[in-house]
Each structure stands twice: as C-alpha cells, then as structure tokens.
Chains A and B, each alone.
Chain A
Amino acid sequence: MDDPIPLPLDGLHTELGGRMVPFAGYSMPVQYPAGVMAEHLHTRAKAGLFDVSHMGQVVIRGENAAAALEALVPVNVVGLAEGRQRYGFLTFPDGGLADDLMVANRGDHLFLVVNGAMKHLDLEILRKGLPDHSVEMLEDRALLALQGPSAEAALAGPVPGVAGMRFMDVATFDWEGAALWISRSGYTGEDGFEISVPVDRVDAFARALLSRDGVMPIGLGARDSLRLEAGMPLYGQDLTPEITPVEAGLGWAIQKVRRTGGDRAGGFTGSERILAELADGPKRIRVGLRPEGRAPMRTGVALYPGADATTPCGTVTSGGFGPSVGAPVAMGYVPIGTAVGSVLYGDVRGKRLPVTVADLPFHQPRYRR
C-alpha cells in the first residue's frame, strides 16, 4: 500500500498530540490526548472541531447540471433551491450503493461532498455520466466540521453571518480575505457546520476556531461513535455495493418526484430495483441494535434468531460503545418484518449474546431547522 498522504493540517494535528492512523489513504488523527470518550461527550456538550479534508469536494458546472445529475443521483436535485443542500447517493445499475454524499446548489454550480475512500471512483462515475459537464475535484480546499451546541457561537466569532443559517443551508462567507464555503450540517447528530477552506488558510482558520470558547479538536474515533449514536450509516460498513438505498433505510432521501408516479420518476442508475423496493419493500432493512450487558457488538458479528439457531438472519455492520447512551450500540441488517423490540443473538467470540432490535437514532439530533 502507498504511504498515507498527510492532510493540510498535519502539523497542527501533531502539535495537538493527535494519534495519527492511515484512513482512506490519508494520515488522520484517530484521537487526541483527551481520548475518544471525552472527545465524544465534549462534542455533545460544547463543540468539536474535525478535520475531514480527506473527503472529496466536487464542483459540477454546465447547463442544466442539476437535471443531468439526476441520472446518477436518485434525489430531487432540480428542485434544490440555491443556497440549499440535501443528502443523496450514487448507485450502481443493480441498485447497490456506490457512495453517499451531500449535494448543494451554489448558484452557478453544484457542490458535492463525497466520502474520502470513494472519491476517485465517484469522480469516474460522475465524469462518465456527465460527459457534457465539467466535473472537478477540488485539491485546493480543505474541509473542517465544527459540531455541537456551541458550534454556532464559536463560528460566529470569526464568521458572524453563520448565525442566520438554518439546517442544510449553504453560503459563502469571507474570513480575512479567504472564501469559506459553509453548510449547516454534519455527521454527529448535533447542530453544526461543515466549512470548506482554501488549503493555504486552513491552518490559521483552524487555530482561530480552536481559540474560541468550548472548541476542542476531535478525532476519527469520536466521529464514528457520534455518527453511530445519531443512526447515520457509514459507507464501507453500513452502506456497500451489495446494499440498496431502500434496504439501508434511506428511502426518505428519494423525494416523490423521483418515485413511480412522480414527474421525474426513475431515470437514474439502478432505478428498476430501487423503485420496485420502494413500492414493495426490500428483503432486509437496516435497524438499530442494543446489545444487553456491556459487551460491544462490532462490525461483522452474525445475528441469529435464537440462542441455538444454526443459520444467521442478519449481520452487525457498525457497533461499539455509545458514550452518550452509556451502553453498547450497533446497527445492522435484519429480515424485513423484524419488529423493534425483537431479541436476536449476536455471536461474539463464540458466545450467543442477546441484542434487542431498536429504533434509530440512539441519540435524538438537535438541528437548527
């Protein structure tokens, strides 16, 4: 494997005592000296600053870019107002997920944020599917996330305009001559912002945020436990090419206009299976899982319908300890019709441990709508 690529904030991470690990091809901080638990709880209580510069930032330009993108992304892109963002995904011809993403209407272009590990494949899919448009991955912008109940107050110091933003708004702001592309969104279940910053200014901007009251640097470890508690799937674990958006419980992101009977129904990659599953239901669904006791059930744990059953009925796709829940939490796939409250058994190191099917999320989001 190639050596992990340092991010623009590499020096700052090291200075802050970040423990660096390879992730998505980059060298990234998994935690700082405070540790995953403290970083997680701090984000829910105050504000956490995350470096997510590994993610792909893609600009699509050209006439009717929104309509063209609808051939690849099964959500209502055409109806997305300027200054707004929505969640979506790229799909394969068999309906499986290629990646999940955010798409924003920034006036004269569409702005996509995609997963770091998938961004090169995404770029291929986008370029192939949009041959008449310019599709560019920005290499001169870093990406930060500031998340938590104090995020607005912290960001409003250097960037006063953000106080007026609502959940999923996007806008451009000036910070000492640097153009910041800001969205009010995130991946923690907290109010917060994602901020695209020119690479040559990101170190100074990150330091400006860290100097604000209540802001602490947060690593990948807490990012994972925060999103897990918030019920958000992670591409590569909870979302894969073998899983459709409907199975993943992402049907809500496919607006009526793209569904059977809608004005722009179908017409996207994998539409046959996805529309059929929206109408008839999928075979399996993503659910929350609450292991009994303290033992976490992690990715790959097989789920059985009974303590002695020999054939598994599902799998854990993400799991760990939920610091805000104070107990292990997980998510995974089970057969359609498995009711919330059902008890299944996870095979943990050869032992069958009971786990209860639960509603997602485990932690109610606190967005500023």
Chain B
Amino acid sequence: MKYTEDHEWLEDTDGVVTVGITGHAATQLGDVVFVELPDVGRTVTKGEEIVVIESVKAASDILAPLDGEIVEVNEALSDNPGLVNEDAEAAWFFRMTTTTPEEMGDMMDEDAYAEFVAD
C-alpha cells in the first residue's frame, strides 16, 4: 500500500488502483455523514477534487492522486458514510486506472507515512 501527503492510501491490483483515506485522516475528520462520489468513467487529473466528504464538523475533499479514469466507486459509502470511521483502510472510495503508474513509486510506504503523520 502507498500513501500520499493528502492522507490517501492507494493499492494497485493489476493496474487498477483502489483509493481511500487513512485512519489518521478519518480520525481528524470526525464522524463522516455524507460522501459524494465521482461518476464512473470520469477522466481525472492529479490534484483535482473528486470526492466530497462531509463530517459532523466540516466539508473536505479527496483529490485525485494520479491522472487517469474512475472505473468504480464504493456506493456503500453513500448509504453508510460511517464506514469510513469504522475502518478507513477497508472503506475504499473509488478505483481508477492511471496513465502515470510510475508516480506511485515515489509515494510513501507505510513506515514513511507513519513518520509523516508523527511529525
């Protein structure tokens, strides 16, 4: 699993990248009450806001971690946004294919991310 500085986790399974937010991010957000997912088939650019997460406290975004296309979204989150707080690493938001898979190589691994959030 790879991690971004925006507190997303990415898991590459045969060229399809599953994306979620880290437990650390979920804790910071607080109870998630609403998730707005992107449309399947949408072409996205790295850094683009593609998911809206509303917690009891505030709205925040998930940014596209890579260039590519959304191929699947986790509809279960629309009905039960609290899944994010229950188990952030299981509550994936979307799956995407990417035109820039090499960028994942530069992302943090688990140890580096743990160090990143400790700072």
Contacts and interface: CB of A to CB of B under 8 A. Distances in A.
A321 B31 CA distance: 10
A323 B56 CA distance: 9
B30 interface: yes
Contacts of B113: none
**Chain A, interface size: which category?**
10 to 19
Contacts of A35: 30-31, 56, 85
Question: Which of B56, B57, B58, B85: most chain A Cβ within 10 A?
Answer: B56
A36 B33 CA distance: 11
A349 B52 contact: yes
A354 B58 CA distance: 20
B81 interface: yes
Interface residues of B, number: 14
Contacts of A328: 33-34
A244 B59 CA distance: 30
Interface in B1-59: 30-31, 33-34, 36, 52, 54, 56-59
Interface stretch (A127-135, A148-156, A171-179, A291-299): A291-299
Interface string B80-96: 01000100000000000
Contact of A321 (B33, B52, B78): B33
Contacts of B78: 294
A37 interface: yes
A246 interface: no
Nearest to B78: A294
Given A295-B34, A295-B36, A321-B34, A36 B56 contact: yes
Q: Is the interface of B mostly helix, strand, loop or mixed?
A: mixed
Nearest to A294: B34
Interface string A22-48: 000000001100011110100000000
A295 B81 CA distance: 11
B34 A36 contact: no
Contacts of A231: none
A34 to B, nearest CB: 10
Contacts, number: 43
A282 interface: no
Interface in A318-359: 320-321, 323, 328, 349
Given A295-B36, A298-B59, A37 B54 contact: no
A320 B88 CA distance: 22
A269 interface: no
A294 B33 contact: yes
A339 to B, nearest CB: 27
B33 A31 contact: no
A170 B79 CA distance: 46
Contacts of A38: 31
A241 interface: no
A233 to B, nearest CB: 19
A296 B34 contact: yes
Nearest to A38: B31
Nearest to B56: A36
Nearest to B58: A298
Interface of B: 30-31, 33-34, 36, 52, 54, 56-59, 78, 81, 85
29 contacts: A30-B57, A35-B31, A36-B30, A36-B31, A36-B56, A36-B57, A37-B30, A37-B56, A38-B31, A40-B56, A221-B56, A221-B57, A294-B34, A294-B78, A294-B81, A295-B34, A295-B36, A295-B52, A295-B54, A296-B33, A296-B34, A296-B54, A298-B58, A298-B59, A320-B56, A321-B33, A321-B54, A328-B34, A349-B52
**Which 8 interchain pairs have the tightest Cβ spacing?**
A321-B33, A37-B31, A36-B56, A294-B34, A295-B34, A296-B54, A35-B31, A321-B56
